[in-house]
Amino acid sequence: MAIPERNEIILGFHDICDQFDWSVNSIRFEKFRQFAEILKAEKNSRVRFLFDDGFESVAKLANADPSLFLPFRPAMSIITSQIGGTSVWDRRPGGTGKNHISREQLRTLSDSGWEIVSHTHSHRALDLLSHDQIKRELAGSSEILEEIAGKPVTSLSFPFGRFNQKVVDTCIEFGITTFYSNRKGMNGVNRVYSVYRWDSTNQLMQKVRHGRIESARLKLINLFSAGTVWVQAYNGLYSEPKSNKNV
Rounded Cα distance, 128 and 152, in Å = 27
> Over 70: is that where the pLDDT of 187 sits?
yes
What is the pLDDT, as a whole number, of residue 226?
73
Give the residue extent of every domain in the chain.
9-234
pTM here is 0.90
Rounded Cα distance, 24 and 44, in Å = 26
What is the pLDDT, as a whole number, of residue 246?
39
Query: Mean pLDDT score of the chain, rounded to an integer?
Result: 88
What is the pLDDT, as a whole number, of residue 88?
58
What is the pLDDT, as a whole number, of residue 247?
30
Place 243 in a pLDDT band, splitting at 50, 70 and 90.
very low
Q: Would you report the helix, strand and coil content of the chain in percent, each value rounded to 5?
A: 45, 15, 40
Nearest to 31 by CA among 42, 52, 16, 47: 16
Spacing of C-alpha 224 from chain mean position: 16
> What digits encode the pLDDT tens for the residues 37-47?
999 998 888 99
What is the pLDDT, as a whole number, of residue 86?
85
What is the pLDDT, as a whole number, of residue 232?
80
> What digits encode the pLDDT tens for the residues 61-102?
999 999 999 899 999 999 999 999 987 555 555 555 789 999
Residue type at position 129: L
> What digits encode the pLDDT tens for the residues 192-231?
999 999 999 999 999 999 888 888 888 888 777 777 787 7
> What digits encode the pLDDT tens for the residues 158-183?
999 999 999 999 999 999 999 999 98
What is the pLDDT, as a whole number, of residue 23?
76
What is the pLDDT, as a whole number, of residue 41?
93
Q: Is 138 exposed, middle or buried (0-12, 13-18, 19+ CB in 10 A)?
A: buried
Looking at the domain that runs over 9-234, which CATH code has it been given?
A: 3.20.20.370
Q: Beta-strand (E) ranges in 99-150?
A: 115-118
> Over 70: is that where the pLDDT of 233 sits?
yes
Sequence-distant (6+) residues with CB within 8 A of 133 are 240
Residue 73, CA distances (Å) to 37, 96, 114, 230 in order: 15, 30, 7, 34
**What is the percentage of the chain residues whose pLDDT exceeds 70?**
90
> Over 50: is that where the pLDDT of 244 sits?
no
User: At 160, is the secondary structure helix, strand, or coil?
Assistant: helix
Q: Is 108 exposed, middle or buried (0-12, 13-18, 19+ CB in 10 A)?
A: middle
Rounded Cα distance, 207 and 193, in Å = 6
Rounded Cα distance, 24 and 21, in Å = 8
Task: Tell me the CB-side half-sphere exposure of residue 121, using CA atoms within 13 A.
Answer: 14
What is the pLDDT, as a whole number, of residue 132?
95
Contact 124, 158 (CB under 8 A): no
Contact 38, 220 (CB under 8 A): no
